[in-house]
Amino acid sequence: MRFWKGHQQIGLAAVVMGTSILLSRVMGLLRDKAISYLFGAGGESDLYFAAFVIPDFINYLVAGGYFSITLIPLLAHYFDRDRDEGWRFFSTVFTWVTVVIVLLTGVAMVLAPELAYLAAPGLPPAALPRLAYFLRLILPAQVFFLLGSCFTALLYQRKQFLAAALTPLVYNGMIILVGVLLQARGMEGFCWGVLVGALLGNLLIPYLAVRQGGGLRLQVSWSHPGMPRFCFLALPLMVGQSIVVLDEQLVRVFGSLAGPGAISWLSFARRIMMVPVGVVAQAVGVASYPFLAELAAKGDMGRLQETVNSALRNLLALLIPLSVWMMVVAEPTIRLVFQQGRFAAVDSEQTALLLRVFLAVVCCWGVQQLLGRAFYACQDTVSPAVLGTLVTLISLPAFYVLSTRLQALGVALASAGAMALYTVLLGLCWRRRFGARVFASLTGAGLKLVALAALAALPAVWVVRAEAPLRVSHPLLGAAAAVLVSGAAFGLVFLLLSRQFAPALIRPYAERLGPVGRWLSR
């Protein structure tokens, strides 16, 4: 099938992945909307979100979140040298990965009752048996995730992004479909949806795409000269538990100590915050990584640094104004997305407060997404892992103290502080190892964007305040009006101010808007 065989360049790849992530985030919001509508915040919802703590930790323990990143440079090396050698290396990795993840998943399923308490120590003891049941339903999905990541790495190495772009859409779609169909069984239906979605979306689609988009030669293989190098690159990501991958789990674990509903409020708020991170930063990071790895393999550090610097400037030009506007419309956004059914107005207020805290560090999420991949492209997995683990250890006392004193707000503050600290340390490490060229002019550009966004936020704030009388009589209509009108006002003012004071920062995007965009960028 020709559909799987197209090779995308970095710009088109970023568009493909960005569109996929955007649609995936929308479907993720629809999934959370279904959960909040049917079950509200607390009770079954808290159990569902807490049930991901242990499975996700196992995924991180085998570097599942970074599996493709670790594997791509080695696949490129062996396949470029000899295709037969490349397939032997891939088969060896696949064989060992299968054995390890099946064993870990089996042990976790046996120990589910004990692990349930570790996942949510603040939940009532009567809720733990149901949480253990949810754990046993979700745990096998980790097998599908990790094996699918092997095939996805092959697709990325071939610069084929379309099939990988479908993966999260099928995954989220199955969660919604199965969960709604089985809603009479509580959140159990959504757990079954996770299992079905992981099998179809994360394993079956990449497997078929690899077979049809270049062929697959897979056999049982227990040894290859490249395995020590792969383990050397993956080991820091397995041993080191970075704040980037553990943040969501720390939010859930310590959220269980913050009272009923806190896990759900924090999870919903974090989900909204991750929309701009995923659509903008993650898409650019995923699409750029194979190209950064290629530049690093050629030893062309000059072009690599220029590429990262340009990408960081473009990220800031989008993420700073977007996060400022989203902070202004946090309450109407939460009300519009979640406040129906069993999700009440008080839940919207609590979630909106947490969302504003998370949004304050969206730029940090964006910077570390790209800068971390620059380290990995240089085959340095140690530095990000060590720094991330150090920040995790430092942040644990902060999570505990703030969660017990400030409840859900304290958890959000601890999460935001940890991410800001990690981004600063990662930047300092890159500067020490490779120089400051990557960060040229970024401080000035960032401060200018913050100032322009703050000015553009003034009319948006007025719009949100003017909508307040509609909140009681027409909560959803008022929320939709506030989001749309404030967004138009913010965007117009920001573009006009940027044209006057920072045209170079918006030029890469404005030039794609036709005559109006060219006028703005002059």
| pLDDT digit string, tens, across residues 40-69 | 877 788 899 889 888 888 877 765 556 666
Q: Which helix (H) or strand (E) holds 226?
A: none
Distance CA(109)–CA(93), nearest Å, equals 24
- The 10s digit of each residue's pLDDT in 246-289 is 888 889 889 988 888 888 899 999 989 988 887 777 666 666 77
Nearest to 101 by CA among 153, 140, 54, 44: 140
User: What pLDDT is stored for residue 3 in this prediction?
Assistant: 38
Low-confidence ranges of the chain (pLDDT < 70): 1-21, 62-69, 235-243, 282-287, 472, 507-522
User: What pLDDT is stored for residue 504 in this prediction?
Assistant: 76
User: What pLDDT is stored for residue 510 in this prediction?
Assistant: 60
Q: Which residues contact 189 (CB under 8 A, 6 or more apart)?
A: 178, 179, 180, 181, 182, 183
User: What pLDDT is stored for residue 511 in this prediction?
Assistant: 58
User: What pLDDT is stored for residue 385 in this prediction?
Assistant: 81
Distance of CA 43 to the CA centre of its chain: 26
Angle (deg, nearest 10), helices 83-110 and 53-61: 150
Q: What is the 3-state secondary structure (H, E, C) of 375-387?
A: HHHCCCCHHHHHH
The answer to pTM > 0.85 is: no
User: What pLDDT is stored for residue 79 in this prediction?
Assistant: 81
Distance CA(189)–CA(126), nearest Å, equals 20
Distance CA(355)–CA(336), nearest Å, equals 14
